[in-house]
Amino acid sequence: QQQVKQSPQSLIVQKGGISIINCAYENTAFDYFPWYQQFPGKGPALLIAIRPDVSEKKEGRFTISFNKSAKQFSLHIMDSQPGDSATYFCAATTAGGTSYGKLTFGQGTILTVHP
Amino acid sequence: NAGVMQNPRHLVRRRGQEARLRCSPMKGHSHVYWYRQLPEEGLKFMVYLQKENIIDESGMPKERFSAEFPKEGPSILRIQQVVRGDSAAYFCASSPDRKLSYGYTFGSGTRLTVV
């Protein structure tokens, strides 16, 4: 019940295209859903995050769509650039009450943006 | 602010040896989380520590693994009698408080190779 399932495993997109990565979770106690970007040899860096009280959050070219009833959320990268080539992880946690920052990660998506 | 510092960046150990991984949190951060990333997988939570206390070690293997975060100095993840299956990237994250916040920051990791 603690799993977060992420797809696809890898994604190839042309420059200027839209990259879409999907995640699904099971634990209904999760109430905070961040996305992380990881470059080779580096640690994950927070990209954007959403709480389930909104269905969409946009920051620049990055948008999270959230479907609470389906327990699914997705990352959309608009106008994808070669510099966006990295591994993307969705994650989930409980952020309220007595919780703390224990993250459950998806398996990761390797994004390659061709020039 | 130098960020979360992990060392060494790369560590090679022979089977049966001990591995000691260090994590110096960001200045002002007293909460540390350790995660393990196996090849082609997402990060898996191992342990959450506050200064001098282990709060949640539910992700730690029962044997050979231990963690500490002393009053002074870095947090240490210790793996005794390493085996090939311990080969992975180990990341720590630090946070200024118990709750997941935008201050939650990952280090660049230690890549452990057991030969």
Q: Per the CB < 8 Å rule, is B99 touching A42?
A: no
The reported pLDDT for the residue numbered A2 is 65
Q: Per the CB < 8 Å rule, is B98 touching A101?
A: yes
**Beta partners for residue B6, in sequence order:** B23
- pLDDT, tens digit, for every residue of A76-94? 999 999 999 999 999 999 8
What would the two tokens of residue A1 be? 């019940």
Going by C-beta distance under 8 Å and a sequence separation of 6 or more, which residues neighbour residue A42? B108, B109
Residue B42 has pLDDT above 90, yes or no: no
CA-CA-CA-CA torsion sign (B56, B58, B61, B62): positive
Q: Give the distance, in angstroms, between the CA of residue A66 and the centroid of all CA atoms in the same chain.
A: 10
| Touching A: B residues 2-31, CB under 8 Å | 4, 6, 31
Chain B nearest-CA distance from A35, in A, is 12
CA-CA-CA-CA torsion sign (B79, B91, B47, B37): negative
Query: Of B45, B56, B99, which is closest to A103 when you measure between CB atoms?
Result: B45
Chain B nearest-CA distance from A2, in A, is 11
The reported pLDDT for the residue numbered A1 is 54
* Ranges of chain A with pLDDT below 70: 1-2, 96-98
DSSP code at position A95: -
